Amino acid sequence: MTIQWFPGHMAKARNQVQEKLKLVDIVLEIVDARIPESSRNPMMDEIIADKPRLLVLNKADLADKKQTAAWLDYYQKHDLPAIAIDAQHKSRLPQIEKTVRQILATKITRQQAKGLKIVKLRAMCIGIPNVGKSTVLNRLVQKNIAKTGNKPGVTKNQQWLKVSDSFEVLDTPGILWPKFEDPDTGMKLALLGSIKDSIFHADDVALFGLDLLRQRYQAQLQQTYHLQAADFERDNAGLLLTLTKKNGFKDDYDQFSEKMINDLRKGRFGGVTLDVIPTPTSETEVPTDD
Ligand code: G4P
């Protein structure tokens, strides 16, 4: 199954982002720490171009901590400033403004040299649906301004939010892109809630998720669903049926599929990261000093 979802309001929002970009000093790109690459919108690279950028790996509480550290290291090696946060807990949020100030230090020093006491910084917050953009912004401004909800596409309008006297953020709607080059990207986005549930079949997406969990987090899968080692001798479809029965859904594997997707979204398998760090090939290898 191939999933694609690019409704009209997203195409319109993309143009608005392009228009407003000249008003900001930096872009805050919010991604899901469990799929840091799959939740990045490649279309935005062209639009943002050389504008300074801070990648914010949100929902770090739901991700595999070791993998998050490895991803941060990966981005650092690729000269992309990145931090990991959990927007539901306030403690790491001041890190955003602090890092923005570090990235824009040259601009700040230049403006201060001109006699400006308070250097106002403006950021644009972008991200695909459901990465937690509204939650991050609500926490940053300490009010319930940005709309949150579990339905992709809920953040509708662009609005300026005042974080402090010297830092404002422009909220933008969650935007996907017209075609997922890698079909796995669409599946991962569906699995973690960035694509409207009515666009895909739950059993296809659950099977895809089951396969990923088996490959990467079999012990956590086994523990969460009280599976026996012998259950893993079955193929994915067989295992899905076993799980359907074990969980009291008789033969209704659609219903179990929805439960499994929800369990994954809510972090019931513990911290999991579904994107794998690309291994450098000779062409893409990052140069080192030695
Ligand atoms: P969006 O604007 O990018 O579309 O996302 P939004 O803030 O609406 O967040 C989507 C869901 O993700 C919400 O859950 C929100 O609570 C949750 N969320 C956001 N940031 C984090 C995080 O850092 N960690 C965890 N664990 N969850 C996060 P929901 O179930 O849709 O709604 P709610 O009932 O929790 O409000």
Looking up tokens 């006491």 gives: 117
pLDDT for residue 217 is more than 80: yes
- Going from the Cα of 63 to the center of ligand 1, the distance in angstroms, rounded, reads 14
Nearest CA to ligand 1 atom 34: 149
Q: How far is the CA of 154 from the centre of ligand 1 (A)?
A: 11
Average pLDDT in the 136-144 region?
A: 86
Q: How far apart are CA 63 and CA 69, in angstroms?
A: 10
Helices 105-113 and 94-103 pack at an angle, to 10 degrees, of 70
The closest residue, in CA terms, to atom 24 on ligand 1 is 59
144 Cβ partners below 8 Å, 6+ apart?
Answer: 138
Report in angstroms the alpha-carbon separations of 235 from 3, 27, 238.
Answer: 23, 44, 5
The pLDDT of 203-207, averaged and rounded, is 96
For residues 254 and 156, the model is more confident at: 254
Contact 234, 278 (CB under 8 A): no
The answer to whether residue 94 scores a pLDDT higher than 60 is: yes
| 236, 211 Cβ separation under 8 angstroms | yes
- 88 compared with 286, residue with greater pLDDT: 88
Report which protein residue has its CA nearest ligand 1's atom 14: 150
**Rounded to the nearest whole angstrom, what is the distance from the C-alpha of residue 266 to the centroid of ligand 1?**
10
CA distances from residue 211 to 116, 139, 184 in whole angstroms, order as listed:
56, 35, 12
Average pLDDT, the chain: 89
CA 117 to centroid of ligand 1, rounded, Å: 37
CA of residue 149 to ligand 1 center, whole Å: 7
Q: Which fold has domain 8-171?
A: Rossmann fold (3.40.50)
Nearest protein Cα to ligand 1, atom 26: 59
Q: With 90 as the cut, is the pLDDT of residue 254 above it?
A: yes
Nearest to 169 by CA among 126, 108, 132: 126
More confident residue, 39 or 281: 39
Statement: the pTM of the whole predicted model exceeds 0.80: yes
Q: From the CA of 154, give the closest atom in ligand 1.
A: 4
Closest CA to 243 of 264, 262, 233, 257: 257
* CA 89 to ligand 1: nearest atom: 23
Residue bearing tokens 């950028």:
53
pLDDT at 150: 43
* pLDDT tens digit sequence for 95-124: 999 999 999 999 999 999 998 888 899 999
pLDDT at 149 over 50: no
pLDDT of 91: 79
Ligand 1 atom closest to residue 151's alpha carbon, by position in its atom list: 31
Tell me the percentage of the chain whose pLDDT exceeds 90: 69
Dihedral angle of Cα 150, 155, 161, 164, to the nearest 10 degrees? 30
pLDDT, position 127: 94
**Ligand 1 nearest atom to the CA of residue 155, by list position:** 2
> Which percentage of the chain shows pLDDT scores above 70?
90
Q: What is the pLDDT of residues 123-133, one digit of tens each?
A: 999 999 999 99
- Provide the pLDDT for residue 235: 96
pLDDT value for 157: 60
Residues of the chain with CATH 3.40.50.300: 8-171
Q: Say what the pLDDT of residue 213 is.
A: 97
Q: Cα(65)–Cα(54) distance, rounded to whole angstroms? A: 20
Residues with C-beta less than 6 Å from any ligand 1 atom? 58-59, 61-62, 86-88, 127, 129-135, 148-150, 154-155, 174
Q: How confident is the model at residue 147 (pLDDT cuts 50, 70, 90)?
A: low
The CA distance from 94 to 101, in Å, is 11
Burial class (CB in 10 A: 0-12, 13-18, 19+), 15: exposed
pLDDT band at 155 (very low <50, low <70, confident <90, very high): very low
- The residue nearest atom 17 of ligand 1, judged by CA position, is 132
Q: In a mutational test of the pocket of ligand 1, which residue from 135, 189, 268 has the highest number of ligand atoms less than 8 Å from its CB? A: 135
Contact 152, 195 (CB under 8 A): yes
108 contacts 124 by C-beta, under 8 angstroms: no
